[in-house]
Every structure is written in C-alpha cells, then in structure tokens.
Amino acid sequence: MPNKWIPVAATVLLAGCATTPVQDRATPETVTFEETACFGSCPIFSFTLKADGSGTFTGTRFVAAKGEHPFKATPEQVKAFLARIEAFRPEGVVEYGYDNCSVSVRTDSPSVRVTWQNDGGADALSWYLGCAEPKVQKIQPDLYGAWKELPLDDLVGTKQNRFEYEPQDG
C-alpha cells in the first residue's frame, strides 16, 4: 500500500517545480548603446542611460548634435527601451561579425554594441548588422532602432538630413 503514495508525492514535487518562477536578471544600472559607421550616412553615436533615466548622448557623425549632450528619459521611456533590447541581452559577451556569422556577411553595414552593466558584472552584445543571423534577423530592426524609445530624436536628427549634418569640403 505505501506505493500508492509515490505518484501523489511525485505530482506534488513536480507541481512545485512547475510553479517556481524563473529568476529575472537584474535590471541594469546602466546601459551603453552605440551605433557605428557604415559605408554611407548611418548615424554614428553612443549614449549611456542610467536606471533613473539620466543619460549622456555622444554624437560623432551624421547626427544633428555632435559631442556630449545630457538627456533625461521618463520611467516609461526607460522601461520601453529596456524591454525592446532585452531579447538581445546575452549571458556574458556575444559578438556576431565576420568571424562567427553562420551565413554570408554583407559588407558596409553598421554595428550595434550594447552593454548592460550592474554590480554583478556586465553582459555585452556586439552585432555587425551585415551578419544576417537567421535566428535574429526578423527582430534586427528592434535592436537597430531601439534608441527611438528615448528622447533622442533632436540629437540624432532625421535620415533625410544626414548629409546636411556634415561639413562639405570645397
């Protein structure tokens, strides 16, 4: 008769495992986001965003504002930005580029680099967007345009005006 309790005990134990919530990774204290050069007029900039919404934008080329500029995001904007990039957050450091892309690599594309930093360390992604990894290709625009969740439009500027932001020689 004691054997009839084995299925009951197993069910109770497995049910406990099934309802145990998965530990969320800590919300980062800071996120550094960078878009790099391409062969063309891709905006080149980086920014660091703190959990409280304060940040520093650094514009380099093909952006409306060059140099360092402070900005302040609302809690809703911070949440939307973090949610948009969370699918890309690796465990540790991951790089998609020429050396480890599982498909043919297109040339002349920009890269996006993101670092999630907190007391426990950092996770980082460097993705050369010419590497069209099938598993993430569909969501690539979510990463490349993630900055649009933050109040950076006036600093990055518009696609139509990219060449106007650069001094012309001659």
pTM across the whole model: 0.80
Which listed CATH number (3.40.50, 3.30.1560, 3.90.320, 3.30.310) goes with 28-164? Answer: 3.30.1560
pLDDT in tens, 11-64: 333 333 333 333 457 889 999 999 999 998 999 999 999 999 999 999 999 999
E strands of the chain, at which residues?
30-35, 44-50, 54-61, 67-72, 93-96, 111-118, 121-128
Using left for φ > 0, alpha for ψ between -120 and 50, and beta otherwise, residue 131 falls in beta
Tokens of 36: 């790099």
What are the boundaries of each domain within the chain? 28-164
pLDDT in tens, 131-144: 877 766 666 778 88
Asked if 150 and 119 count as a contact pair (C-beta separation under 8 A), the reply is: no
What is the DSSP-derived secondary structure letter of residue 105? B
Region 6-10 average pLDDT: 34
